[in-house]
Amino acid sequence: MAALDTRTDRRPSFAGLLWGSTVGKKTAMAVSGIVMLLYLVVHMLGNLKIFFGAGTFDGYAAWLRTIGEPFLHHEWFLWIARVVLVAAVVTHAMAAYQLSRRDIAARPVKYAHKRRRASYATRTMRWGGIILGLFIVWHILDLTTLTVNPHAAPGHPYANVVATFSTWYGDVIYIVAMLALGLHVRHGFWSAAQTLGAGSAARDRVLKTTATALALLLTAGFVSVPVAVMTGLVS
């Protein structure tokens, strides 16, 4: 007597099918990229408060820990934001890596003549992502855990930022990363718009202009802080 087959065929979930498709991965990259872009805009605006002095900047840092009180406990909002941001970064990185592997597998033999990419940002998207990933680790160790900031003191964010940008390596790491960020945002915003169906012949110029403006705004905003410390405007 043949043994009964107790296995049951399980249909993959909609989420699994979506993630398994190229379109799904591109959509995940686009949505997670938008989440990170919104965070970057808010983060840049917060950083610019350093130009209003230590009291304003330290007060802003303290306020971030009290958002949502008394409904939320102390620092809960910050941890929720961190979890969402980490999820967006991981999703973005995984989708980018898997799409890259698929692209390589689809054409295992290199082209005899490589086609020139549309822009420098397009050609360096992969390396830009790696640079930004490494920078995120450094930035957390520098200004969150204060591990690599030898002159940092807990509870003094203004002084800690000044301490970071009073070193040549702190300036170089930050500025290089922000330049990579600008290129990444410029190309990424355009790609996300195309993936989510916002692109069209009529809107191409507007989207390209918006992508360039966002990239320049974010780069200039973030880089202005180390430059201000280097020049003595913030001290």
Model confidence pLDDT, tens digit, residues 76-87: 999 999 999 999
Separation CA 161–CA 225 (nearest Å) = 9
Amino acid (1-letter code) at residue 42: V
Model pLDDT, residue 71: 94
Return the residue matching tokens 């990229």. 33
Closest CA to 43 of 13, 79, 6, 81: 81
Query: Packing angle between helix 54-64 and helix 157-164, nearest 10 degrees?
Result: 110
Residues 6+ apart with CB under 8 A from 149: 142, 143, 160, 163, 164
pTM for this structure? Answer: 0.85
Q: What is the pLDDT of residue 26?
A: 87
Please give the C-alpha separations between residue 58 and each of 65, 75, 123, 155, 160, in angstroms, as whole numbers.
11, 15, 40, 8, 10
Distance CA 191, CA 128 (A): 15
pLDDT at residue 123 in the model: 61
pLDDT given for residue 117 in this prediction: 47
SS3 203: coil
**Average pLDDT of each block of 10 consecutive residues along the chain (235 residues)?**
54 75 87 94 97 96 94 94 95 87 69 49 72 94 92 93 95 96 89 77 81 95 97 94
Specify whether the CB–CB gap between 93 and 133 falls below 8 A.
Answer: yes
At residue 1, the pLDDT reads 47
Dihedral angle of Cα 141, 72, 66, 79, to the nearest 10 degrees: 10
- Strand, coil or helix: what is 114? coil
